Amino acid sequence: MSERATGFFEQVAEAFDRAAAFTSYDAHLLEQIKRVNAVYRMAFPVLRDDGSIVVIDAWRAEHSFHRLPTKGGIRYSMLVDEDEVAALAALMTFKCAIVDVPFGGAKGGVRIDPREFSEAELERITRRYTAELMRKSFIGPGTDVPAPDYGTGQREMMWIADTYMALSHSELEALACVTGKPVGQGGIRGRTEATGLGLMFGLQEACSHAADMKQLGLATGLEGKRFVVQGLGNVGSHAARYLEEEGAVLVGVAEREGSISAPSGLRVADLLAHRAQTGSILGFPDATDLPDRASALELDCDVLVPAALEKQIHEGNAPRIKARIVAEGANGPTTAAADRILRAAGALVVPDVFLNAGGVTVSYFEWLKNLQHVRFGRMERLFDQRARGGLLQLLSESTGRDLSERERSRLARGADEADLVRSGLEETMTLAYREIREKRLELGVEADLRIAAMVVAIDKVASDYQLRGLFP
């Protein structure tokens, strides 16, 4: 079997086993942490617009019940199978533990190409899938809380919430059954861009350590760093935009229709506008089209951001990767063999199990908001604004300097929901990276960031099991 044909869950298990070797936990406890607790496979008929009936295959995997509810996205893709949802559920368990979000991991998938179905058909599929999840108690505010993933978004999450509320007999917390909803329907400001923004915060912290950057031959900070993005979906486009705002320079992009190179840099907004108008990144005036869609991965750059699907960096192309930092925006974009090749070449791989945790972090904020039935900032924003205004008035009187109305407005402004979400996300990603880095230093030269992140996750999940008296 070729390395690329190895199962996704097997790849995750290999990373887990590498990290587990650095711990001294009971073998049975480690096996429990690694195993998937429950998988629900379903097949159901859906009526198409032309009157025909299609049978849909779908799954939901719940990896760990060490904390409840379990949490994880739902993807619509022809690549979905049981192995994929099991692997993604496991990654979600470890991801939540690393960033101290109190969920177990889960993941769902429906094997369809959403582009092949009308909106009405997608709604019927989504609502039936939700009903099937409810049938086996695989969804609920305190049981299992889905979220958007590849091929899904706010629209699908609202269909899920509406179906659950209709069938849950007026459950008070019903809206917390799913996250990633529209803001006006119980969602939270900042959720759409959360994974891309979290990636920027995590990478920013990684690039702030002078000793680590010196080993890579790079300066600290994001300013001036040349980066390549694979995938301009929700994660990749927002990550590119936020990296650009911090002074990084986009020099290449890979998408399903092809890839482009722009050594002198290009503007993210202009490229997205070009793609929206033409349907492709190819033919962009300020860039050169490359031979195939994978070519951009091998461009000369400081940072490579794979933000598409799993197994995009493999043993076949890893030796040609020139990036000094690989910032994993997607789940499982680097195979185990490729990871070994990149590490041997001296690259710093910032692992997915940490770096794309921004989405679940802000989903946690949304879940809390739904349980509390109050918008973040509603109780304190005006109070804070008035208190700051009073302090500014005292400052103005004591110094004799009159502040302009614009200065007063800017300095006295109270934090709204978006401000609080961004602040909470930045702190979460920053503190999590520092914990991972400290663990790597503690483990010694044989450990890398992926091992360190997994050890941090294992420690936290194991602690939960031990506190419940289930294992010594």
Output the six-digit token pair for 237. Answer: 């486009």
Q: What type of residue is 202?
A: G
Dihedral pair phi/psi, residue 254, rounded to 5°: -120, 135
Half-sphere exposure of 180 (CA within 13 A, CB side): 28
Active site residue 107: yes
Cα(262)–Cα(283) distance, rounded to whole angstroms? 12
Half-sphere exposure of 322 (CA within 13 A, CB side): 12
> Active-site residue among 34, 71, 95, 107?
107
Determine contact, residues 39/81, Cβ cutoff 8 Å.
no
What is the residue-wise DSSP string for 290-308?
Answer: -SSTTGGGGS--SEEEE-S
The partner residues of 303 in beta bridges, in order of sequence, read 227, 325
Element (H, E) at 231: none
Order of strands across the sheet that contains 144-148: 38-47, 53-62, 104-110, 70-76, 144-148
Bond preceding residue 351 cis, omega within 30 of 0: no
Estimate to the nearest angstrom the gap between the alpha carbon of 88 and the chain centroid.
Answer: 11
Estimate to the nearest angstrom the gap between the alpha carbon of 169 and the chain centroid.
Answer: 32
Q: In Å, how far are 90, 122, 181 from 96, measured between CA atoms?
A: 10, 29, 20
Q: Which is nearest to 460 in space by CA: 116, 151, 94, 118?
A: 94
Angle at 316 between CA 311 and CA 317, to 5 degrees: 80
Cα(355)–Cα(433) distance, rounded to whole angstroms? 9
Q: In Å, how far are 101, 381, 397, 421 from 385, measured between CA atoms?
A: 30, 6, 18, 18
Residues assigned a catalytic role: 107
